[in-house]
Amino acid sequence: MAAPLTDLTHGTGPKKRKTQWTEECQRSFDLIKEKLIQAPVLQAPDPKRPYCVEVDASDVGVGAVLLQEGDNKQWHPLAYKSRKLSSEERNYPTQERELLAILHALRTWRCFLEGSQYEVRSDHHPLKYLRSQSKYTPWLVRWMNELELYDPTVISYQPGKTMHVPDALSRHDYSGNPGNDTMEPEFLYAVSAQSIPPEHRNDWPNYYVDRPSDLPETVVNFLDQEKDHFVVKDKKVYRLIKLKHEDGAEEIKEVRFLPFVQCANKVNSFHEAFGHSGSATLFDLLCFRMWWPSMKADIKDWLQHCPSCQVNPRRSRTHHDVMDPLPVLPVAVDYATNYPIARAVPVASSKAVADFLYEEIVMRFCCPKEIVTDRGANFMSKVVRFYTECIKIAHHFTSAFHARSNSKCERYNGILKQMLRKYTNGALHIWDQYLDAALFACRIRTHTTAKYSPYYLTYSRDPILPGDFLRPYIPDHALKDSRVIAELTTQELENLD
């Protein structure tokens, strides 16, 4: 529809052709204006009128549309919402999936619906009698309690053939590329290397330095296709990776190619050194430092064989705040950067909390504008209150019995506890020796929402890590053995030659 108009923008600089406004351009322009003022056009909500929420759930996702009656007595859309179901949610019975769709919509539009009269429409007839059932599953009990908080006026049945919008949203194709909420930057790779014979598949980038004369034709053709994505400096191969930042700016980065024989040891070193992180986190850590073909798949495969991660798997549910059998561990997290701070203390006294605030926060990062804590006796003590009032720090408390209101700290409590288990291999009595390593691992990992690591957001630069080229990773058990340190350093230098 807009093609005649976009064609006018083709060409730049001296080669830019003369703009000619044709009849086709005028028809396209008029058609766009006409479509912009035709239904369905999103309208602004009117709090004086009742709302209607239409929902639907399919095998792959849930969808919803928020409606409001207009002056013409017709329902007009105010907003649309859909999301993909997780692998666990896809196994829910139909009734639970339909109820999940309702809750997802009410959570999203709570700011409009709370305190207003509104109707919820679904094409699942049993939901109409949801409140009068005699037996509930544990999931339904929890969701019914949440549903009562939103207090819809009525949940009515609407035939599926009349609910085209939520049905289409729930069946949206989610198989495409992930959205911009993923942790990875946008990598633009060239043709797949699967066409290369297996014996050449791992180290084919080395052929840009020393190409054998007896290479198969398929390998030669592939090297010619990929040559624009590599550069050779001092007989070392670098992969050119095009990064697209959040602001739209693009950057070409040279990343060192790592021979396949060194990859497993390098992945294992980073994995052990920085908190036994998962494959996605470890890939984010390595992708700016080294590259090899099938890098992401290899990392995922190797991490599945980590003994410590097998013994201490990630829990689907954890309990925070009580770090049993660990002694007291006060944790602080910066709201803007997610930078974690923690210190091991023998007792959770009010003086220990005040010392933690002074030494770990004020002396390192200056006085914060405000702090948020739970309602523990040590945080609500006169000592802490007097100290925060003296240095003009606003002290806010979370809601009672509502840990989610302090979710940033709660999240890091679980992460630190899991990391310390893996670092100590079950010997939790030495957990404090690994606390700094666990904190550092948390600080350098890319945050899912912020898209950057807490370290980068705090210091405005990427960290230089042990394990980078020319900086060998030295395990903690070898720190006191000068011969082992010398051997590791020599080995790292040999790998660079």
430 DSSP assignment: G
Q: How far is CA 354 from CA 134, 350, 357, 360, 409, in A?
A: 53, 6, 5, 10, 17
In angstroms, the CA 124 to CA 136 distance is 17
Share in percent of the chain as helix, strand, coil (round to 5): 45, 15, 40
Name the percent of the chain lying above pLDDT 70. 76
Token pair, residue 460, equals 């405005």
Percent of the chain beyond pLDDT 90?
2
> Taking the domain 51-170, which CATH number applies?
3.30.420.10
* C-beta atoms surrounding 265 within 10 Å: 12
Contact yes or no for 432/338 (Cβ under 8 A)? no
Cβ within 8 Å of residue 4, ≥6 positions away: 22, 24, 25, 27, 28
| CA–CA distance, 16 with 8 (Å, rounded to integer) | 10
Rg (the chain; Cα; Å): 29
Terminus-to-terminus CA distance in the chain, angstroms? 58
Asked if CATH classification 3.30.420.10 holds for the domain at 331-459, the reply, yes or no, is yes
30 vs 8: CA distance, rounded Å: 16
Same topology, domains 51-170 and 193-311? Answer is no
Average pLDDT for the chain? 76
pLDDT tens-digit readout, 103-152: 999 999 988 888 888 888 888 887 777 767 777 777 777 888 888 888 78
| pLDDT of residue 185 exceeding 80 | no
Q: List, for residues 404-445, the tens digit of each pLDDT value.
A: 667 777 777 778 887 887 777 767 777 878 888 888 888 888
**Rounded Cα gap, residues 339 and 439, in angstroms:** 9
The pair of three-digit structure tokens given for residue 399, joined into one six-digit string: 């809601």
Give the sign of the dihedral formed by CA 293, CA 294, CA 295, CA 301: negative
* CATH class of the region 193-311: mainly alpha
Predicted structure pTM score: 0.43
* CB 329 within 8 Å of CB 343: yes
Tell me how far CA of residue 108 lies from CA of 102, 114, 116, 422, in angstroms.
10, 11, 15, 38
For the chain, the domains span: 3-36, 51-170, 193-311, 331-459, 466-497
CA distance 73 to 79: 18
Of the pLDDT bands very low, low, confident and very high (cuts 50, 70, 90), residue 254 is confident
CB neighbours of 171 closer than 8 A, spacing ≥ 6? 58, 60, 61, 63
